[in-house]
Structure 1
Amino acid sequence: MNLLDAMTAYVRVAELGSYTRAAETLDLSRTRISRLIMELESHLGVRLLQRTTRRLHLTEAGESYLARAQGILQALEEAEAELGAGSTEVCGRLRVNGPMSFGMRFLSPVIARFMLEHPSLEVRLDLNDRRVDLLEEGYDLAIRIGELPDSSLVARRLARCRMVPCASPEYLARFGEPRTLAELAEHRCLRYRTASGTDWQFGSERLAVHGPLESNNGDVLTQAAEAGLGIAHQPSFLINESIKSGRLVPVLVEEASVTIGIHGVYPARRHLPAKVERLLDFLAEAWGDPPEWEREMGLSPLAQ
């Protein structure tokens, strides 16, 4: 039995309350996880988990061992981070999560370049638009865009981007270009749906808009705007190619645009693992401030 592997398996099962979810985060089979914990219990001579048909329960010995095992694994991780800080080699496994549209356009190409520079690194990159639990799901790093809720996680801003109202030349030829926010509110607006609603923000002003389409996916709204269905209010990274090609045209560029942050978020640790720190530095340099896609669009520099 590899004691470290067994300890790691036990901690993940205890934290997640599931053999299956622990197996997913550790990239092992459920059978292997079960075997490791059985071997650990045999090695210790105590029962750590009570298994029922519906859930797992930690025994008193299991609770005590969990606290010690968590401390040991944390200490090992910090020791590796301290050694890694002085090494140029980035290796091991790295689990990263990011939003779908941004991830496809700007995260995955940069990670590919990072991996070419560090061939000993293995990366699992998951893209989705739900807010993942880094600790519960075993991620080392997540890329999050917009306001961050209060949490125990640490956030580092890597780049900023603007929200840009835009429409197709065909739509503007047919309905006219809005010159004020009041005029904009009278147009056919394509709305992104969030938990806080579908209003658009310009500086400190919140604008109620209406139109034929709302969606929780920015690519859907970009395609609808290109088709001439209405005016969209999109983050610059979603529309840079459309603006460059002329399929969309920015409107109301003189209005105070909202700037949103693009952050790297990771669990709080005394020592940040070298692989995470190096990737954060690499992403920040690759995207830039102002970000590369806004420079390509010819937007004016962001105010500090």
Structure 2
Amino acid sequence: MDRFEAMSLLVAVSDAGSFSAASRALKVPLATLSRKVGELETLLGARVLMRTTRRLALTDAGLAYVAAARRILEQVEEAEREVAGEFTSPKGQLVITAPVMFGRRHVLPLVAEFLADFPHIDVRLLLADRNLHLAEDHVDMAVRIGALPDSALVATRIGTMRLVTCASPALLAGHGAPARPEALGAWPCVAFDMPSAPPGWRFREPETGAILDIPVRPRLSVTTTEAALDAALRGIGVVRLLQYQVAEAVARRELKLLLEEFEPEPAPVHLIHAARGQMPLKMRRFLDLAAPRLRTTLARLAETGLP
């Protein structure tokens, strides 16, 4: 048995939460994955995984072993990168993820400049409106909009982002502008049809800071921010998006911001990466380029509302 391979597979199963999810992520047959983890348990003389009704869970022995295995795997990976020269010269592949629209508008131009400056680095830019898992999806660095959970990830704060409500002038001409969030109950709205989306829209009383959860009537539900923006531009309904997603339309007066004084606190924006000791130069160089530039972009957007 290849003990190092078995350790890697066990960590992958623990991260994925099931043998089937790890099998898909690793492209390893499910039977092979189960057999090799079983062989490792036999070698250890202890059960490291137990099944629950919802997912796999680690035993106490498994928790200790996986933590140790993760440290060993990270040390080996770091040693391999050092031997390959990633710590002495910027080279290799850099994998970056960002929200779709933010990535296309603000990260892609930085990547183009970065590639021109560093000819020995290749970049995979993964644009997705769901948060990819850095370890499972083999991501080096990510742009995150929103509060971060406690984790071992390293976060560099680059600004904040408003969550804004807006509508087209044509829609407002037929309805007038709502004076308070509660009025939105009578308005047609454009909403996201996603499993994690809350049932209503959250606002905040400007004087007291009290939270207002307002139910809305989705005249149209969509699954992408681009579709929500297009629907709002066509006057289908009121939409709620992040400020950068509507900034150009607002600047062209194709959309008008509503209920600005009732907006919730702006969401923090970070660049995050895994904490793995010394950072490879390819990541260090991209962070040095991207952090100040994105910080300037977000500050300008916060001050002027212009993209």
Please give the TM-score of this superposition, normalised by the length of structure 1: 0.72
CA distance in 1 between counterparts of 2:105 and 2:144 reads 14
CA distance in 1 between counterparts of 2:295 and 2:33 reads 49
CA distance in 1 between counterparts of 2:258 and 2:166 reads 5
Q: For residue 117 of structure 2, what is the aligned residue in structure 1?
A: 117
Q: Secondary structure of the equivalent of 1:139?
A: coil
Question: In structure 2, do the counterparts of structure 1 residues 72 and 291 end up closer, same or farther at CA, with 3 Å as the change threshold?
Answer: closer
Q: How many residue pairs end up in the alignment?
A: 265
For residues 249-288 of structure 1, the aligned pairs below 5 Å read 249-288=256-295
For residues 17-96 of structure 1, the aligned pairs below 5 Å read 21-22=25-26, 52=31, 55-58=34-37, 59-60=39-40, 67=69, 70=73, 72-76=75-79, 84=87, 89-96=89-96
Are 1:188 and 1:230, in contact at CA under 8 Å, matched by a contact in 2?
yes
Q: Note the C-alpha offset of 1:172.
A: 0.8
Structure 2: segments with no counterpart, 5+ residues: 14-21, 45-64
Q: For residue 132 of structure 2, what is the aligned residue in structure 1?
A: 132
Would you say 1:245 and 2:246 are equivalent positions? no
Question: In structure 2, do the counterparts of structure 1 residues 83 and 104 end up closer, same or farther at CA, with 3 Å as the change threshold?
Answer: closer
Q: Note the C-alpha offset of 1:289.
A: 4.7
The partner residue of 1:207 within 202, 206, 213 is: 213
Q: Note the C-alpha offset of 1:228.
A: 0.5
CA distance in 1 between counterparts of 2:291 and 2:84 reads 21
For residues 2-17 of structure 1, the aligned pairs below 5 Å read 15-16=11-12
Q: Secondary structure of the equivalent of 1:240?
A: helix
Question: In structure 2, do the counterparts of structure 1 residues 225 and 52 end up closer, same or farther at CA, with 3 Å as the change threshold?
Answer: closer
Greater shift after overlay, 189-198 or 162-171?
A: 189-198
Structure 1: segments with no counterpart, 5+ residues: 1-5, 24-29, 31-50
CA distance in 1 between counterparts of 2:236 and 2:226 reads 14
Q: For residue 148 of structure 2, what is the aligned residue in structure 1?
A: 148
Q: Which amino acid aligns with 1:275?
A: K
Are 1:154 and 1:267, in contact at CA under 8 Å, matched by a contact in 2?
yes
CA distance in 2 between counterparts of 1:98 and 1:8 reads 32
Q: Note the C-alpha offset of 1:114.
A: 1.6
Question: In structure 2, do the counterparts of structure 1 residues 81 and 239 end up closer, same or farther at CA, with 3 Å as the change threshold?
Answer: farther
Are 2:178 and 2:259, in contact at CA under 8 Å, matched by a contact in 1?
yes
Q: For residue 108 of structure 1, what is the aligned residue in structure 2?
A: 108
Would you say 1:299 and 2:305 are equivalent positions? yes
Q: Which amino acid aligns with 1:249?
A: K
Q: For residue 224 of structure 1, what is the aligned residue in structure 2?
A: 231
RMSD in angstroms over aligned alpha carbons? Answer: 3.7
Q: Which amino acid aligns with 2:198?
A: G
CA distance in 1 between counterparts of 2:43 and 2:73 reads 12
CA distance in 2 between counterparts of 1:82 and 1:11 reads 25
CA distance in 1 between counterparts of 2:222 and 2:141 reads 27
Q: Note the C-alpha offset of 1:168.
A: 0.6
Question: In structure 2, do the counterparts of structure 1 residues 170 and 137 end up closer, same or farther at CA, with 3 Å as the change threshold?
Answer: same
Question: In structure 2, do the counterparts of structure 1 residues 144 and 225 end up closer, same or farther at CA, with 3 Å as the change threshold?
Answer: same
Are 1:81 and 1:274, in contact at CA under 8 Å, matched by a contact in 2?
no
Q: Which amino acid aligns with 1:135?
A: A
Please give the TM-score of this superposition, normalised by the length of structure 2: 0.71
Q: Secondary structure of the equivalent of 2:93?
A: strand
Question: In structure 2, do the counterparts of structure 1 residues 192 and 268 end up closer, same or farther at CA, with 3 Å as the change threshold?
Answer: same
Q: Note the C-alpha offset of 1:163.
A: 1.1
Q: For residue 35 of structure 1, what is the aligned residue in structure 2?
A: none
Are 1:158 and 1:283, in contact at CA under 8 Å, matched by a contact in 2?
no
Q: Which amino acid aligns with 1:277?
A: R
Would you say 1:97 and 2:90 are equivalent positions? no
Q: Which amino acid aligns with 1:245?
A: R
Q: Note the C-alpha offset of 1:121.
A: 0.9
CA distance in 1 between counterparts of 2:200 and 2:144 reads 21
Are 1:77 and 1:273, in contact at CA under 8 Å, matched by a contact in 2?
no
Q: Secondary structure of the equivalent of 1:222?
A: helix
Q: Note the C-alpha offset of 1:19.
A: 7.8
